[in-house]
Structure 1
Amino acid sequence: MNYLLRTTNLVKKFKDKEVVTNVNMNIKKGEIYGFLGPNGAGKTTIMKMIVNLVKPSSGEIEIFGEKLTNGAYETLKRIGSIIEYPVFYDKLTGRENLELHCEYMGYYDKSAIDKVIDLVNLKDIEHKDVKDYSLGMKQRLGIARAIITRPEFLILDEPINGLDPIGIKEIRNLLKMLCKEYNITILISSHILGEIEQIADTIGIINNGKLIEEISMDIVREQNTEYVEIITMDFKKAAYILENDLNISNFKIVDNNKIRIYDLKLAQKDISKALILKGIEIEAINKKNSTLEDHFLKLLEGSELSA
């Protein structure tokens, strides 16, 4: 299999604390890899190690088939990135920031600036000083800067922070296009799991510095379970009726107002009717499929229990 990036037993310690532990990532060429984990799990530290901003304590990083070293300048030229909050020269315009970046990178295709400004929808504000940009505008400018040199590998740490729903959709479509039409491999982290679910080919889930799963999204989708979700404040009484009157034992109480029933031997209307006749006030009842968020939370829960 053709991997663009592989890490082998990657470890990072800050003083005596190990924040990344024996991580083995495998990112295939031409895919979108969703990197998931709670705050402080180690995602950003790993991304910084990949672009040589932080040195590993031990282990190896291989990119484009070559081991990453301190002098791997040509390798790093093939990578675009936004890691943590993008920083700009605030008193320069968006266009001037992009021009400066191109000069720094030795990239002299001036038409590329017009193209990326169009791609990230900054056409009307490119001549505005960056100090007057909103957070969402700065995120767009950061993405423009990351892709302007046509990198082969794009690393994006929370790139949709500060964007409204329309902006999020635009960036989602942009990333899909960059991967499909330009064959750019993308590593992206985000707290918005629904977005990762829509664009990722593979996901890696990290918790407490350990990569606890690396799995194809196709497999996650195949594992999706159908269930009936009931929203009611009478969840305790409803749970009693399900178990004792309807003989349903395969259900789970979520958030103290939701019951998810995985045993679907009874029709949704029959469950609803039985609960209403017993005086249960039902706010909503729907048939659903488990999501990436369900998979993610279940996996994190299991990793915490085994820790």
Structure 2
Amino acid sequence: MTFILKTNQLTKVIEGKEIISNVNMKVKKGEIYGFLGPNGAGKTTIMKMITNLFKPTSGEIEIFGEKLTNTSYEILKRLGSIIEYPIFYEKLTAKENLELHCEYMGYHDKSAINHALQLVNLKNVDDKLVKHFSLGMKQRLGIARAIITKPELLILDEPINGLDPVGIKELRDLFKMLSKEYGITLLISSHILGEIEQIADTIGIIKDGKLIEELSMDNVRQLNTEFIEMIVTDCKRAVFVLEHTLSISNFKIIDEKCIRIYDSNISQSEISKALILKDVDIESITKKNNTLEEYFLKMINGDGKIA
């Protein structure tokens, strides 16, 4: 298996405080790696170390099979990134900003500028100065700048900030296309777990500077249990029916109206019939699976184990 990015015992101490602790990440070539964690968990700090903006206190970073050092200029040419909020020359147009970027990157394919703008669907901006761009437009321009040199590894820190649902879907499709058709490896952090769930091949979960989990999305889906969720008007009465009429014990009360049943040997129709016969009103009853969000919250709020 080829890993395009690996970290070994990566640690960062700032003002005497260890904010990243012995992180061992492995990102496979060509995959989309979703990097998840609460605010302040250390995602951006790790991304800054990978792009050589921060120096590790200890540990190593290996990219394309080579150790990252202070003089890894050729390695960095093969990366594209957005770290935190993208900064531009505000009094220049989008194209002028991209031309400057290509110049200092030593990339001279002029046709790449229009192609990158098309990929991120940034239209009708030929004469518009960047200072007049919306947040979403600047985010699109940042992604265009990150992909314009056709990098082998693309590092995106919260790339869908400021975008509406249509823009988020467009970029989701773009990220998939960059991975599948261009063979680009993507490391993406995001707070929108539903989006990561739709595009990621692997997820890494970080908490308090420690990588507490790293596994494939296929494994997450296998770990997630199917259940029946029902919304009822009288939760106490419904619980009595489940326990004493149907002899079900494997269920969980979510709130005053919602119950989840994890017993796979009983059907929705059997549950509905029993509740109706006991005069329990059912607002809804559906079969569901746990989501990445629920898995993530179990990991972050628990002790690093699946509940």
TM-score w.r.t. length of structure 2: 0.94
The aligned residue for residue 220 of structure 1 is: 220
Deviation at 1:237, TM superposition (A): 4.1
Corresponding residue SS for 2:287: strand
Given that residues 32 and 188 in structure 2 are in contact (C-alpha distance below 8 angstroms), is that contact kept between their aligned partners in structure 1? yes
* Rounded Cα–Cα distance in structure 2 between residues aligned with 1:242 and 1:127: 66
Q: Tell me which moved more, 44-53 or 11-20.
A: 11-20
Corresponding residue SS for 2:5: strand
Q: Which runs of 5+ in 1 are unaligned?
A: none
Query: What is the count of residue pairs matched by the alignment?
Result: 306
Instruction: Report the CA distance shift for 1:114/1:214 in structure 2 as closer, same or farther (over 3 A).
Output: same
* Rounded Cα–Cα distance in structure 1 between residues aligned with 2:25 and 2:56: 14
Instruction: Report the CA distance shift for 1:305/1:114 in structure 2 as closer, same or farther (over 3 A).
Output: closer
Aligned residue identity for 1:254: I
The aligned residue for residue 291 of structure 2 is: 291
* Superposition RMSD in Å: 1.8
Q: Tell me which moved more, 184-193 or 241-250.
A: 241-250
Q: Which runs of 5+ in 2 are unaligned?
A: none
Corresponding residue SS for 2:6: strand
Aligned residue identity for 1:170: E
The aligned residue for residue 50 of structure 1 is: 50
Instruction: Report the CA distance shift for 1:47/1:97 in structure 2 as closer, same or farther (over 3 A).
Output: same
Given that residues 31 and 186 in structure 2 are in contact (C-alpha distance below 8 angstroms), is that contact kept between their aligned partners in structure 1? yes
The aligned residue for residue 249 of structure 2 is: 249
Deviation at 1:102, TM superposition (A): 1.0
The aligned residue for residue 35 of structure 2 is: 35
Q: Are residue 84 (structure 1) and residue 84 (structure 2) matched? A: yes
Instruction: Report the CA distance shift for 1:265/1:217 in structure 2 as closer, same or farther (over 3 A).
Output: same
The aligned residue for residue 62 of structure 2 is: 62
Instruction: Report the CA distance shift for 1:8/1:286 in structure 2 as closer, same or farther (over 3 A).
Output: same
Deviation at 1:276, TM superposition (A): 3.8
The aligned residue for residue 135 of structure 1 is: 135
Pairs within 5 Å for 1:90-109: 90-109=90-109
Given that residues 212 and 304 in structure 2 are in contact (C-alpha distance below 8 angstroms), is that contact kept between their aligned partners in structure 1? no
* Rounded Cα–Cα distance in structure 2 between residues aligned with 1:248 and 1:169: 41
* Rounded Cα–Cα distance in structure 2 between residues aligned with 1:154 and 1:184: 7
Deviation at 1:17, TM superposition (A): 1.9
Pairs within 5 Å for 1:198-277: 198-232=198-232, 234-277=234-277
The aligned residue for residue 171 of structure 2 is: 171
Deviation at 1:137, TM superposition (A): 0.9
Q: Where has structure 1 moved over 6 Å in runs of 4 or more?
A: none
The aligned residue for residue 180 of structure 1 is: 180
Q: CA deviation digits over 1:149-179, x for unaligned, max 9?
A: 1111000011111111111111111111111
* Rounded Cα–Cα distance in structure 1 between residues aligned with 2:305 and 2:290: 21
Corresponding residue SS for 1:18: strand
Deviation at 1:51, TM superposition (A): 0.4
* Rounded Cα–Cα distance in structure 1 between residues aligned with 2:43 and 2:157: 8
Aligned residue identity for 1:298: K
The aligned residue for residue 14 of structure 2 is: 14
Q: Tell me which moved more, 255-264 or 83-92.
A: 255-264
Given that residues 212 and 303 in structure 1 are in contact (C-alpha distance below 8 angstroms), is that contact kept between their aligned partners in structure 2? no
Instruction: Report the CA distance shift for 1:239/1:84 in structure 2 as closer, same or farther (over 3 A).
Output: farther
Corresponding residue SS for 2:282: coil
TM-score w.r.t. length of structure 1: 0.94
